[in-house]
Chain A
Amino acid sequence: MKKDIILKVEGLKTYFNTDEGVVKAVDGVSFELSKGETLGLVGESGSGKSVSNLSIMSLIPSPPGKIMGGKVLFGDKSIFDLSEEEMRNIRGGKIGMIFQDPMTSLNPFLRISTQMVETIVLHKKVSKHEAKKRAIEMLDLVGIPKAYDRINDYPHQFSGGMRQRVMIAMALSCDPEVLIADEPTSALDVTIQAQILELIQSLSKKLGTAVIMITHDLGVVAGMCDNVNVMYAGRIVEKGTNDEIFADPKHPYTQGLIKSVPRLDKPKQKRLYSIEGQPPNVIDLPECCPFFPRCEFAMDKCKTAYPPVTKFGDTREVSCWLYEEKTRGE
């Protein structure tokens, strides 16, 4: 059993009303995060990873977005029942966030010092002077050289990797319990990616911060996560520990994902595997397993109903008709 659960998402549903129809971006997502854990959330673009996490922060633009159901428990508080002010205390204070594109995530019109200090003053209730000291410490910690001078620069004076470091420093400056990293390395050069991932990993261990690592890149997850959730078309299709997922992927989609990661330790394949087809359009999705058109094991059943959750031990869950037998057996 997991201990010290700090964030619990239950049956979260976030829909968007568009001209074309209702987009069920997140359709019943549940997961738990315990203290100090690093959880990987993996899926193709459009699978609902980011929307799930923006929903946790109540940052879904509404309209058109709307949270249609489910609960998010942060500690013992239900996030959707909080007042706007209580919610603001959580954002930035208890849960920090970093985003995909460091080039656009910092306000280009304000100095780094302004942007960092305002957050620290807001959540730590300290003077501006102390906040600035704290900000410089944090910049030092994330490896910005000459942080004391550079804090007065504008974002455009930093490189992409440095800006992401600034974002990390800002997100961690108020000692949050949870850090949500939304594709933190996708917009960066490969060499920088590894540095940033390592930084997140080492800092979270050092500060005891739990991390939700959202990514489309299984390679990222493999290196640093304790547990992995795989998402497809707005739902989690497979859960497990890092080792379980990589050693024994059960869902055909996870299997496909793993096969399509290029590997150096395996004999060179003729051609890198790729999952055929496109991720589905989640507008007006009929009742079915949305992966069936791309699945090599697709059965008739898959076309008419969404598969139930099959449990393997304490930590594994799979939603696939292939494992239905086992469910019935129990």
Chain B
Amino acid sequence: MNDSVIILTLVSAIGIGTPILLAGIGEMMTEHSGVMNLGVEGMMLVGGVVGFWASTETASIPLAMAAGMLAGVLVALIHAFFSVTLRVNQIVSGLALVTAGTGVSSFIGGLDNSALGGMRSVSTLDPVFGGDITDLPVVGPLLLGHDWVVYLSWLLVALAGFWLFRTKKGLALRAVGEDPATADAAGIAVTPIRYIYTLVGGAGAGLGGAYLTIGVFGVWQNGITAGIGWIAFALVIFAGWRPWRALVAAYIFGALRNTGFTLQIMGVEISSDILNALPFILTIVALIIISARPVAARAFRAPSALAVPYARESR
């Protein structure tokens, strides 16, 4: 039963869905502070190559993940400086990150003449729970068969949801993203919060990138993300800026990403271009459905000050 097409599809959806989820949760936190970072793809690539390089150098997965995360944070710092301190257009700055991240990651991947490209990952991520327990029908492969990064991503979803909607820190964060002038008047420091959560977004993307190269593919290749960063960006919108919805949506997007293979096995011919476009089409459909229902539109709309720079004395 654990070998059925459905179970296998779901398991592989969780595999490819995890980097989407990690990057998406990070971007979600960033956007709740009113900063939009379109550079997820670039941050994931840099995190991916640095993480992969660290794994070949240190043979330690936790260190490699940390290195990928840190790389993502550094790239996000550029965006924070441009969009929060210099208040440049966030779309321009974010798109620049994509281009720069693509270039920088290819450059790092080709350093030392010892091209990382094509090299297999030194160590692999093993499932946390070994043995018979993963043979349990359905629950085994779906809930118990994963490596620690997957469980970490679930923990992060829960933490993000709690942080955003139950704590004062989260309240302050959302206030900054909704209405920075009000937050400022209430004594909340807008700039530091926007910086911190932009970096949190970088950490998520970097970790997601590292997991993609080490945990999912086990190789580094130029441009290996192939649009996964953009899917993570769409995920935030599709999930209506809610972490728990992002968890489900990430796996739906992950499943779509893998549907091509499944359909091929089942003998159905369908263009992979269409399948790759599906997450974005779904996002648009979700937006249409939500906007047609006023109550949902209020609950699941973007933070009001998203992508709007804040200057205290502007008038």
A and B assemble together: no
The chain B residues found within 8 Å of chain A, CB to CB, are none
